[in-house]
Structure 1
Amino acid sequence: MIVYASRTGNVRYIASKLTAERIEISDELLLNKPYLLITYTDGLGDIPAKVTHFLKHNAKCCKGVVVSGNSNFGHTVFGGAGEKIAATYHIPLVRKLDLRGHKADYEAIQRFYEMRVMG
């Protein structure tokens, strides 16, 4: 399963390129099966509040994180949410994508998903 948070539509687009069941994060979403998290970066490298809330109740099933960001803000904060999530929850940072990313990104994410989430 792919679980995602999208603000501008970039992450929703990325999720649509993957062949997996997808669900957008909502306040009441609780999961008990493995998933890959895809999120955007908020502010200057911050985890979006709704993602923090979601992970508080669902981190145990997360197998990896993919993050979208904007490299125009500088490489010190680019994709910072993904780095922080990976470090906090001890999960792999699968990929950092600049905005919507590219075909090679989707292929790499799909391979990770098939190997580590679907297992």
Structure 2
Amino acid sequence: MIAYASRTGNVRFIATKLKAEPIEISEELMLNKPFLLITYTDGLGDIPAKVVRFLDQNAKLCKGVVASGNSNFGHTIFGGAGDKIATMYHIPLVRKLDLRGYQADYEAVQEFYETRVKG
């Protein structure tokens, strides 16, 4: 399963490119099986508040995080939500994608999903 948070539609687009069951997160969503999280980056490298609330309830089943961001903001901010989630929740950072990402990104994320989440 892929759990995702999308504000502008970029992450929703990414989730649809993968061969997995996507579900958009909400603060009250409780999952009962392993999942890959895909999220956008808020502000200047921050984790969106609804993602924090979701992870506070579901982090134990999260096998990895993919973060979308805008590389125009610079290397230290780009995809910062992914870096922070990896550190705070001890979840592997799978990949940072520039906006909607590219085919090579989808292939790498799919490979991680197949081997580490779906397994």
Give the TM-score band, short-chain normalised: over 0.9
Structure 2 match to 1:9 = 9
Task: Determine the C-alpha separation between the residues in 1 that align with 2:113 and 2:27.
Answer: 24
Per-residue CA shift, 1:47-67, capped at 9, x if unaligned?
000000000100000000000
Q: Cα distance, 1:26 vs. partner?
A: 1.2
Per-residue CA shift, 1:65-116, capped at 9, x if unaligned?
0000001111110010000001111111000000000000000000000000
Q: Cα distance, 1:28 vs. partner?
A: 1.5
Give the alignment of 1:44-83 within 5 angstroms: 44-83=44-83
Task: Structure 2: state its 5+ residue gaps.
Answer: none
2:6 partner letter: S
Q: Which moved more, 1:95-104 or 1:23-32?
A: 23-32
TM-score (norm. length: structure 2)? 0.98
Task: Determine the C-alpha separation between the residues in 2 that align with 1:91 and 1:15.
Answer: 19
- Give every structure 1 segment of 4 or more consecutive aligned residues whose post-TM-superposition deviation is greater than 3 Å: none
Q: Cα distance, 1:32 vs. partner?
A: 1.5
Aligned length: 119
